[in-house]
Amino acid sequence: MSEGWTQRKPTALLVLADGTVIEGEGIGATGEALGEVCFNTALTGYQEILTDPSYARQIVTFTFPHIGNVGANAEDIEDLAPDNAVGAVGAIFRAAVSAPSNYRSAQGLDTWLKARGVVAMSGVDTRALTAMIREKGMPNAVIAHSPDGVFDVPALIAKAREWSGLVGLDLARDAASNHAEVWNEGPWAWNAGYAPKADAAYTIVAIDYGAKRNILRLMSGHGAQVVILPATASADEVLAHKPDGIFLSNGPGDPAATAHYAAPTIRSLAQTGIPIFGICLGHQLLALALGARTEKMHQGHHGANHPVKDFTTGKVEIVSMNHGFAVDRESLPADVEETHISLFDGTNCGIRLRDRPVFSVQHHPEASPGPQDSHYLFQRFFQLIDDHRRKAA
């Protein structure tokens, strides 16, 4: 050791429920955050990932080493209410966050994380942490950031161990809008920002369990007036808007817990013959409403490079995914057809009713971030609406 060299104290810790303590450099908000640790393999879109409401009560480990290079801006936020930020509670990076270098950057990632209250750390061997999650599953943990490097490690371990985790936890109520509103943005265009809402040819009611903005933008881009209703909306409240189609959004938490109030509504709506489209949590809730079961996954699917096969077209798509629960494909009732599966592990990624215009997918066809291979699913939804209109005429 050279003369005058002193070891620097870590300013952040990731403390797992099994007692493992991982040290790093703290960035973002100071304090502690309790959640489930997962890993995301996307190469881009860290801001969209961290603001996806489906990540509520989760700590995201980024496998791509350089995060923060393009900074942050107001356009790339995905949750509907930035003032009441819903998304990941923590973030873990390999390399130190550098100064942003992108013409769209409005502020550095560290400043943005502080403003959102996200506790983060860098200097972590994220490859080793990812390998551990793949072997042992997604652990409960506390991520803590203290600039003076002082931590009560036994207390942090106890907190991680005492948390019951995501199983049985309904997070959709907190992630969702608490009142009805009409969406007013269309899709984003390069150097032009988000288009204003187009003239409405359809009325879509979106039941919000923690919706992403880009889903609503794409539906608006297809000529829809999108009416957003809270997760607890009843079937009568949905039908009062005379929808041409009904959308079941993505969202966080255990679908079986949210289904206690959501499934009866969805079951009633599925009987109306009005086209229904679900994504992510909406997919799981539809499956539960139709009589299937869901299960907790070992490591989940989180990334923008997942291969999924659509049996209705025979094509393989590369898609975005973000889920830690899955529909048990063996539990699907006879009147439900499996339409998509993951080519990573064979888990269910899509269903449709055989006798009604009702379908859903586990992955995120709106991307943001990710490939746009599955944008056709929005066209499929509006085609079902057109077909339903013709039959009703």
Ordered by start, the domain boundaries in the chain are: 12-162, 172-392
Predicted local confidence at residue 83, as pLDDT: 61
Predicted local confidence at residue 7, as pLDDT: 60
Active site residue: 36, 78, 317, 366, which one?
A: 366
Would residue 366 show up in a list of annotated catalytic residues for this protein? yes
Active site residue: 145, 302, 323, 364, which one?
A: 364
pLDDT tens string 240-275: 999 999 999 999 999 999 999 999 999 999 999 999
Active site residue: 32, 145, 280, 363, which one?
A: 280
Q: What percent of the chain has pLDDT over 90?
A: 92
Q: Which fold has domain 12-162?
A: Glucose Oxidase; domain 1 (3.50.30)
pLDDT tens string 335-384: 999 999 999 999 999 999 999 999 999 999 999 999 999 999 999 999 99
pLDDT tens string 174-183: 999 888 999 9
Would residue 185 show up in a list of annotated catalytic residues for this protein? no
**Which of 109-123, 138-152, 191-205 shows the lowest mean pLDDT across its residues?**
191-205
pLDDT tens string 16-67: 999 999 999 999 999 999 999 999 999 999 999 999 999 999 999 999 999 9
Would residue 306 show up in a list of annotated catalytic residues for this protein? no
SS in 3 state form for the chain?
CCCCCCCCCCCEEEEECCCCEEEEEEEECCEEEEEEEEEECCCCCHHHHHCCHHHCCEEEEECCCCCCCCCECHHHCCCCCHHHCCCCCEEECCCCCCCCCCCCCCECHHHHHHHHCCEEEECCCHHHHHHHHHHHCCCEEEEEECCCCCCCHHHHHHHHHHCCCCCCCECHHHHCCCCCEECCEEEEECCCEEEECCCCCEEEEEEECCCCHHHHHHHHHCCEEEEEEECCCCHHHHHCCCCCEEEECCCCECHHHHHHHHHHHHHHHHCCCCCEEEECHHHHHHHHHCCCCEEEEEEEEEEEEEEEEECCCCEEEEEEEEEEEEECHHHCCCCEEEEEEECCCCCEEEEEECCCCEEEECCECCCCCCCCCCCHHHHHHHHHHHHHHHHHC
Q: Into which CATH architecture does domain 172-392 fall?
A: 3-Layer(aba) Sandwich (3.40)
pLDDT tens string 144-172: 999 999 999 999 999 999 999 999 999 99
